[in-house]
Structure 1
Amino acid sequence: MNNAQPIDKNGNPILTTDWACSVDKVVTFVSTTNGNGDFNGTGNPETLFNVTGTVLIRILAKCTTGLTSSSGTLEVGTALSTAGLIAQTTASAIDTNEIWHDATPDSSVEATTVLAQKIVSQDVIQTVATADISAGVIRYTAIWYPLSADAEVTAA
């Protein structure tokens, strides 16, 4: 992006920071060796979104299949702030059709204001902690707005 006015991928000017650009990533948890649900595996933490430059970002996490874990926890952030975008929560508390945005996921309907808007200049990661997450699916949506001329967010 080399314009004074940010543009979307279709070349249209972005006039507001709200809901500007978005990209999705679906994560299916498996606790096999080095799977993304393997607490001690090489796939943890998992990069969800590659961030270039500096962006304003919101992360929407919708559970499409409830998570299964004995005592595992999950959080979303960056390498310097692993729970900086979505607070750590017990994985088994994230149920089918719930929107996960904080430590207590509890609803399939949320106000848009619950999605914290943060300035980010590192890749977005999810971290499995405490124990494995053996099953479940979350669809992550990164909603972002460019702050630097080279800003870009892509699914990892």
Structure 2
Amino acid sequence: MDHYTEFISLIHDFIDLFRSLTTVEQQKLDAAVANDLSILEDCMKKEQAFVLRLRGLEQQRDTLQRKLKMKDLKFREILSRVPDEVKEELTPLFQELSEKVRIFQSINASAQDAISVNLHKIRSVLNSGQPDAGVYSASGTNKPDETHFTNRFV
């Protein structure tokens, strides 16, 4: 029964992680829509930390499922093999985790779409070649007109 207690605790950790990750993902979406690169960058750094935490939780889950002799089983399959008292506790947790993951994926897809639109706008401006496009060099100065190979200095 001790492994089941660990497993239940681990599912709580997954729920907390996805709750926090969803908050950051919403901030990322808002920053992408508002073209706020500093907040967007900060969110991406936070995401990297969450990914590392998620990997750790996945390793713990894999280890616990091996201890429970349920390696490679999906949550629904696990529910069919656990004692009834554990099943009563796990069922709502699995549902909550599933909902948190679904919400995260939805917000993540929206954030990716917003970022893609912004990148498309940037590429369009860069490819337009218009002198008034507001394109700057790496030093922050206006980018000079293109020089041709026939330049006399060559």
Please tell me the TM-score bracket, short chain as reference.
under 0.3
Which structure has the higher relative contact order (CA within 8 Å, separation 6+)? 1
Q: Which one has the bigger helix percentage? A: 2
Q: Which one has the bigger strand percentage? A: 1
Query: TM-score, normalised on structure 1?
Result: 0.24
Larger Rg: 2
Query: TM-score, normalised on structure 2?
Result: 0.24
